[in-house]
């Protein structure tokens, strides 16, 4: 009964969180040409980004896609809590939630561990693009932390099969890598340098002539390494979920009387 009373409050928070995230991304896309782009020449000169970026291009970044998945999930989760049974079952699927958590967790880890130490985390306040700091911190820190914390509260006591779940969680990352590489070869735009075999070659071998076979092997090695990270993190998420479920089951069993246990077994 108490849990039922909490549902509207949780649904409202989830809905507000999801809508706010989508609005921030929409602002980022719409404002790029007129607000952000004029102040990003130094990034283009240092090849941090290319001049091919426009507002819509942001949708090709893993960061933004993983944030969209979280936002949409939370909005559907809210409607499920408010009575839509199909959405309730859909968003209470722990394998699906594991996949969404995995993607946003990787976004947070890569940003904080790799990008943040080597790149400025803030946009200049005096140039009128300070609000991009809000978008940046929200997408790379707030959402990954909050949604990963959400994983520590199982929506069901059903344990996950670790290897099977981890493999299912790899479907999207592998599809993303494949799509980005193929699309990049066609339109000559890669959302990340490590998905471009030519840039990988230049990073490692500087001015040596590009070798296609070695370049492709480097690309495959990077994708396999990243896939291994995804797989390992998915296994860790499964372990956390299963341990929490076991603790929940133990707690229920501890509060159940011997007479209730006997009645349950007899049924």
pTM for this prediction = 0.84
The share of the chain scoring above pLDDT 70, in percent, equals 78
pLDDT-derived band at 126 (thresholds 50, 70, 90) equals low
- Do 24 and 128 lie in one domain? The reply is yes
Is residue 3 pLDDT above 80, yes or no?
no
Number of structural domains in the chain:
2
Q: Which of 38-42, 117-121, 223-227, 252-256 has the lowest mean pLDDT?
A: 117-121
- Comparing CA positions, the residue from 144, 147, 163, 171 lying closest to residue 235 is 163
Looking at 125, 154, 183, the residue that finishes a domain is 154
- Do 101 and 147 lie in one domain? The reply is yes
Is residue 66 pLDDT above 50, yes or no?
yes
Looking at 128, 154, 180, the residue that finishes a domain is 154
- Do 221 and 202 lie in one domain? The reply is yes
pLDDT-derived band at 39 (thresholds 50, 70, 90) equals low
- Do 81 and 162 lie in one domain? The reply is no
Is residue 18 pLDDT above 60, yes or no?
yes
- Do 185 and 205 lie in one domain? The reply is yes
Would you tell me how many other CB atoms lie within 10 Å of the CB of residue 28?
20
Residues spanned by the domain of 204? 157-267
Looking at 120, 154, 188, the residue that finishes a domain is 154
């Amino acid at each position: 009964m108490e849990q039922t009373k909490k549902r509207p409050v949780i649904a409202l928070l989830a809905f507000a969180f999801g809508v706010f995230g989508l609005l921030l991304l929409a602002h980022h896309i719409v404002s790029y040409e007129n607000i952000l782009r004029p102040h990003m020449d130094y990034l283009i000169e240092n090849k941090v980004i290319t001049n091919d970026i426009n507002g819509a291009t942001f949708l090709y970044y893993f960061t933004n896609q993983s944030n969209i998945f979280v936002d949409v999930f939370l909005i559907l989760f809210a409607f499920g809590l408010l009575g839509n049974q199909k959405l309730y079952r859909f968003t209470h699927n722990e394998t699906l939630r594991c996949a969404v958590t995995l993607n946003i967790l990787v976004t947070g880890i890569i940003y904080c561990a790799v990008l943040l130490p080597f790149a400025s985390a803030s946009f200049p306040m005096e140039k009128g693009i300070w609000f991009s700091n809000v978008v940046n911190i929200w997408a790379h820190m707030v959402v990954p932390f909050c949604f990963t914390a959400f994983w520590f509260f199982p929506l069901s006591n059903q344990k996950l099969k670790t290897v099977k779940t981890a493999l299912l969680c790899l479907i999207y990352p592998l599809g993303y890598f494949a799509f980005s590489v193929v699309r990049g070869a066609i339109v000559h735009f890669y959302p990340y340098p490590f998905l471009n075999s030519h840039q990988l070659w230049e990073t490692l071998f500087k001015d040596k002539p590009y070798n296609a076979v070695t370049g492709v092997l480097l690309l495959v090695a990077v994708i396999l390494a990243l896939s291994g990270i995804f797989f390992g993190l998915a296994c860790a998420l499964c372990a956390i979920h299963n341990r929490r479920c076991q603790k929940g089951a133990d707690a229920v069993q501890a509060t159940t009387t011997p007479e209730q246990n006997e009645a349950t077994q007899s049924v």
